[in-house]
Copies of this chain bind each other. A is one copy, B any other.
Amino acid sequence: MSTDTRTSAGSGADAGTASLSIAEAADRLGLSTHALRYYETEGLLVGAPARTPAGRRRYDEQDLRWIVLVQRLRATGMPVREVREYARLCREGAGNEQQRLALLRAHRERVLAQLAEVSGHLGAVTAKIELYEGTVGTVGDR
């Protein structure tokens, strides 16, 4: 309630480039405003969002897209420290594409390995479930 009207006011407020307040951005990304500021101070963003003359953050599409990537990396288990490293590489501009690539590839390998491991364990749990389904009358399991 009340986060209404004046949505993308600020400066331009016209076609194309939206520019959201932190609350709007948080809402759209499914994060808290606290988390968004945390990401920023922790150096997870490739570039800090713009500020209004009064010092308030404005998130544009580019900011949002980057944060979505950060969320994906985080959601796949990349530690904050490594996201920071990746962000740093991107911030430094061209010339380190190989490093970025290596970082992402290493991450992908880890995630694949973990997916396989979890799947394996899940298989065992499923077997256990089926055992119960078949045995829901027999006591001696454990």
Task: Give A contacts to B, CB under 8 Å.
Answer: 46, 62, 66, 69, 72-73, 75-77, 90, 93-94, 97-98, 100-101, 104-105, 107-108, 111-112, 115, 117-119, 121-122, 124-126, 128-129, 132-133, 135-136, 139-140, 142
Q: Report 22 cross-chain contacts, Cβ distance below 8 Å, ordered by A residue.
A: A69-B124, A69-B128, A72-B124, A72-B125, A75-B117, A90-B142, A93-B139, A94-B139, A97-B132, A97-B136, A98-B139, A100-B132, A101-B132, A101-B136, A104-B129, A104-B132, A105-B129, A107-B125, A108-B125, A112-B122, A115-B119, A115-B122
In the complex, A90→B132 CA distance in Å?
12
